[in-house]
Amino acid sequence: MNNLLNFKSFFNFLGRNKAYTAIDLFGLSVSLMFVILIATYVVGELSSDRYHENGDRIYALSDGESTGSAFQIGYRLEEHYPEIEKSCHVLTRVFGDMPVQSGDQKFITNLMLADTTFFDFFSFPLVRGNKENVLAAKNYAVISESFANKVFGTEDPMGKTIRVNDGLTLIVNGVMKDIRHSVIPDEDILCRVDNIRAVGGNMFDDYNSAKSVNVFVMEREGADITSRSDDVRDWLKTFFWIYERELSTKVEFVPLKQLYFWKFNSSPRIDRGDRQFVLILLSVGLLILIFAVINYINLTVAQTGFRAKEMATRRLLGSSRKELFSRLIIESTLLTAISFCVGMLLAFLFVPYASDLLEKKIYLNEMITPLNGMIVIILIALIGFIAGLLPAIVISNAKPIEVVRGTFRKQTKMVFSKFFIIFQNMITICLIAASITMFLQVKHLIKAPLGYNSENMIDISGEALSNRQTCSTLANELEQLACVGRIGLGQGTPFNMGMNFTGRFGEKNISFQEFSGDKEYWDMLGFDILRENHVAETVKYYLSEETMRVLELPEDVVSYKYRGWNEVPVAGIVKDFQVSNILMKKHPTVLMLYTNKEDLHPRNILVEVKGDPYVARKEVAAVFEKLTGLEFTGRFLDEQIEYSFVAQERTLTIVMIFAVIAILISLLGLLAMSTYFIQQRSSEIAVRKVFGSTNAQVLLRLVKAFLTYVAIAFIIAIPLIWYFMNGWLSDYSYRIELSPWIYIAAGVFCLAISFVTVFIQSYQAAVSNPVENIRDN
């Protein structure tokens, strides 16, 4: 037992073999860092909304496509169905960036409106205030902890006022912990839904804005509201217009605990998780850990000649084979434990970067619990056992006489190591190919033709422009800047999809996207007008090709029923253009050109800039902030389009990071095994040189042996790349072809770096003196 606990010789061995130690620690520590960060992120994602006290009885109303419903639907459900104990309407992300004022300070905030039952439904902790009365008065508000720190600093925020607009001033009556791990977004201010008209006017009357409100219901104990879904649908048909017109044909009650990963086509008003992304992270993280374990095995097996002498001595001094085996397993576990500690330190160091990359705050401190401590101990023991198993078997089975004769190293086979090398290179080639494919696909999406101009144009929008005078003054001042070309005023851009309206045309309900603007606005966007009818109207209506198709209008149409009831002249036909990004399906669109700017109430200012776009942006931002007193939130149209693919870019970045780590770890393993391989074949190399083989021939033979493994890995990787990348690309309607050059580039890259890795050692072996090799062996 004392021999098992005495690790002085092990640490001496690590000290003498610094390269071995560094490679082992690097591989295990970095891979465990990824495992720690990924585990923390995944645990957070999987725990979303599973901590609410009444979570088992809470459901979100859905039409099968999104959770969006209409204001007051929850009240009607509560009155009509005894299975429902209470309801809660939650409005988020409806009003955009909301400018508010506290004292002399102005801020852009996110505003959330909800019923007084909000804290009965959701167990979000309060820092200040009592959930029983925190929303007792109509003008009471709860602010987030981060917003309280930002606005009030060290001052007590309770009782402070926040002015939203002329019709709404709120009093802070509570401070809530920032919302985490929930479908409910982390907003700055929460106030009562009674204030809906003060911020939204009459847009929510008569069940309008039908998919902009989240309706949550709490089921009574022992009831089953999900069984009433069809009955609820039929009942909604009697008064709710989207069901009357059969724009929605389904009702679902989605359990709150499943909502985060629920497969909706669209749910813009809630935060959602991506189960596929979580699986990708888990899979790639596990692969990196497997790589590190394989590296440890390969490196330890490569050092068997050195450790075997020590173990043979211990056998001669009385240690049993079982004791040697246990010792080697404990050494492996000890190295894993050291690597875990280093990995934990690295995880704390890189957690800010990981949080930015994953767009989710990662709280490592929350993972330090007794239960997780036990899990870590079990994980370290398991990794240590798996990593040390093969080396322990090889070394403990060595016969002392073979070690003394020097024949042990020659008898040690590389069957497992060859398999590991092939496996590592196969995964590395797949990751390189995946990175190339994803990069090309993302660039393909970003650079897709949209049917309008988007370069060097800043879109300024939001509630800051709700005042017509402010909007006009801002436009006039921006025009004075030398860096500004043209200024256009409008309502909605093709990217933000403008305004949606559903009209009744005969027996059809057709949903349109509507855009309004002045002449400069449309000239800047540069739509392709296929036909101009030259109508003399103050508001000119242009229809897209898709609108013509769905309305079944003749090519020479001169008028149509705007929104299904008002006959207006058709000013012309516009070539179809893309709304949102290239992945959005075609929409019927109507463009309205206002020849008289006074008739237009703009909500967007388009600013065409000249020269350096980023310098111009700073100048535009300075004018905006001086005039409004608010932080500038305008963005280039191209930036908005690119940002819409942030999820794809995030996945690409993560895969590329893992690919680089996989390359490094696999090359370090290849370096170790090439060293071991050359040591084993030193006598053969010497004999070949004695019998006339040139240095070049020996070098070629050594390099060829290892590059053969890379070639085998490439052949195995080809069908894997085809299967997984075709599956990934199939999710995109607008996609690249999986070119053979992607396979070739991945294989050649892996081959090239593998060649460089083994070339130097092979060269040294090829030019060495054969006499010394024969004498040493």
| Judgement on whether residues 158 and 31 belong to the same structural domain of the protein | no
Closest CA to 630 of 98, 101, 107: 107
Residue 300 domain-assigned (yes or no): yes
| Judgement on whether residues 68 and 33 belong to the same structural domain of the protein | no
State the Cα–Cα distance between residues 660 and 701, nearest whole angstrom. 29
Token pair of 769 as six digits: 């003196």
Boundary residue ending a domain (259, 284, 316): 259
φ, ψ for residue 546 (rounded to 5)? Answer: -65, -35
Residue 270 domain-assigned (yes or no): no
| Judgement on whether residues 419 and 471 belong to the same structural domain of the protein | no
| Judgement on whether residues 252 and 315 belong to the same structural domain of the protein | no
Please give the angle made by the CA atoms of 724, 729 and 731, to the nearest 5 degrees.
Answer: 110
Closest CA to 194 of 285, 75, 310: 75
pLDDT at residue 728 is higher than 60:
yes
State the Cα–Cα distance between residues 333 and 331, nearest whole angstrom. 5
How far are the Cα atoms of 412, 425, 671, 674, 679 from residue 302, in angstroms, in the given order? 10, 18, 10, 9, 9
Residue 732 domain-assigned (yes or no): yes
State the Cα–Cα distance between residues 261 and 279, nearest whole angstrom. 12
| Judgement on whether residues 515 and 549 belong to the same structural domain of the protein | yes
| Judgement on whether residues 611 and 745 belong to the same structural domain of the protein | no
| Judgement on whether residues 549 and 580 belong to the same structural domain of the protein | yes
Average pLDDT, the chain: 84
Query: Which pLDDT value is given to residue 699?
Result: 62
pLDDT in tens, 122-149: 999 999 999 999 999 999 999 999 999 9
Side chain identity at 315, as an amino acid letter?
Answer: R
Q: What is the pLDDT averaged over residues 178-193?
A: 92
Token pair of 267 as six digits: 């749910």
CA-derived radius of gyration, the chain: 34
Three-state SS at 138:
coil
Residue 605 domain-assigned (yes or no): yes
Residue 47 domain-assigned (yes or no): no
| Judgement on whether residues 130 and 60 belong to the same structural domain of the protein | yes
Highest mean pLDDT among 392-396, 548-552, 659-663: 548-552
| Judgement on whether residues 437 and 354 belong to the same structural domain of the protein | yes
How far are the Cα atoms of 29, 195, 289, 403 from residue 9, in angstroms, in the given order? 23, 74, 27, 18
Q: 266-270, 320-324, 366-370, 556-560 — which is least confidently predicted?
A: 266-270
Residue 725 domain-assigned (yes or no): yes
pLDDT in tens, 510-532: 888 999 999 999 999 999 999 99
With pLDDT > 70 as the criterion, what percentage of the chain qualifies?
Answer: 84
Is residue 607 within 8 Å of residue 621, measured between CB atoms? no
Buried b (16+ CB within 10 A) or exposed e, 248-260: beebbbbbbbebb
Closest CA to 411 of 394, 389, 387, 396: 394
Residue entry with tokens 């003749």? 554
Boundary residue ending a domain (230, 259, 288): 259
State the Cα–Cα distance between residues 219 and 58, nearest whole angstrom. 6
Boundary residue ending a domain (605, 632, 659): 632
Q: What is the pLDDT averaged over residues 18-39?
A: 81
DSSP 645-695: THHHHHHHHHHHHHHHHHHHHHHHHHHHHHHHHHHHTHHHHHHHHHTT--H
The domain total for the chain is: 3
pLDDT in tens, 207-254: 877 888 999 999 999 999 999 999 999 999 999 988 988 888 899 999
Highest mean pLDDT among 167-181, 267-281, 349-363, 421-435: 167-181
**Number of C-beta neighbours around residue 92 at 10 A:** 23
Range of the domain at 245: 55-259
| Judgement on whether residues 654 and 622 belong to the same structural domain of the protein | no
pLDDT in tens, 361-373: 888 888 888 888 8
| Judgement on whether residues 495 and 617 belong to the same structural domain of the protein | yes
φ, ψ for residue 478 (rounded to 5)? Answer: -65, -35
Closest CA to 632 of 600, 607, 611, 610: 607
Residue 178 domain-assigned (yes or no): yes
**Bridge partners, residue 169, by sequence:** 163
Is residue 617 within 8 Å of residue 636, measured between CB atoms? yes
Query: Which pLDDT value is given to residue 250?
Result: 92
State the Cα–Cα distance between residues 280 and 284, nearest whole angstrom. 6
Closest CA to 520 of 605, 458, 581: 605
Residue 49 domain-assigned (yes or no): no
| Judgement on whether residues 234 and 111 belong to the same structural domain of the protein | yes
Is residue 48 within 8 Å of residue 260, measured between CB atoms? yes
